[in-house]
Amino acid sequence: MRVIVTGASGMIGQGVLRECLLDADVTGVLTLGRTPTGQRHAKLTELAHRDFLDYSSIEDRLTGYDACFFCLGVSSVGMNEADYTRITYDYTLAAARTLVRLNPDMTFIYVSGAGTDSTASGRTMWARVKGRTENDLLALTDRAFMFRPGLIQPRHGIRSRTRAYRIAYAVAAPLFPVLRRLFPGVATTTEVLGRAMINVALRGAPARVLESRDINAVGAST
């Protein structure tokens, strides 16, 4: 299986990329983003691209892939709805429409979030925008899957680029194992999230919208 990973420099993307490079079923990985990750691996190709609304200049580099793990995203804190929509909705749909057109059998997995509003009409801005994004991806292709993780524990030295998040994760680290064991619907890890994406791309999933409990179950399967 050959996969594309977006947002590979972020915390979730780093975890997904790590699992892809370790997995024998993944034979090639293309990272797509504005800056390279700096990693070196025989399976890894990095493609720098700055315009997340237009991929016409690189379409020849985006064919022959079986899955896209779309990990690009941004916190809504301090953002107005127009700017958040451009990154969360416009960037995601521009990539999905291009990649699915070039690779009709591609599995497209979108990292959404717990609490996303499927009605896309609620009062919470980020949940409403993500709900619209999910809905249009699900309508675009029957091989689209929405991942809605809640709390995510970074593993294997992976760190968030946001200082406040790094501090929060460090403080909460001792609690994560307890949360995952007692409340599997609340917390997961970057490792399990990456494994779950690979497993869904290879074998599908019982539902097209996966919450943390589902992600943990799929990520633990072999």
Query: What domains are defined for the chain?
Result: 2-220 (3.40.50.720)
- What pTM, to 2 d.p., does this model score? 0.90
CA distance 176 to 182: 10
Confidence of residue 154 (pLDDT cuts 50, 70, 90): confident
- Is residue 3 pLDDT above 90, yes or no? yes
Largest CA distance in the chain: 49
**pLDDT (0 to 100) of residue 40:** 93
**Span 155-202, pLDDT tens digits:** 756 655 555 555 555 555 666 666 566 666 778 999 999 999 999 999
Q: What is the pLDDT of residue 35?
A: 86
pLDDT-above-70 percentage for the chain: 86
| Contact yes or no for 6/182 (Cβ under 8 A) | no
pLDDT grade, residue 153 (50/70/90)? confident
The per-residue pLDDT of the chain, averaged, comes to: 90
The lowest-confidence range among 75-79, 110-114, 151-155 is 151-155
Does the structure show a pLDDT above 70 at 206? yes
Those residues whose C-beta lies under 8 Å from the C-beta of residue 169, and which sit 6 or more positions away, are: 153, 154, 159, 160
Contacts of 178 (CB under 8 A, 6+ apart): none
- Give the pLDDT mean for 46-66: 97
Least confident range of 28-42, 105-119, 134-148, 172-186: 172-186
Residues 121-131: tens digit of each pLDDT: 999 999 999 99
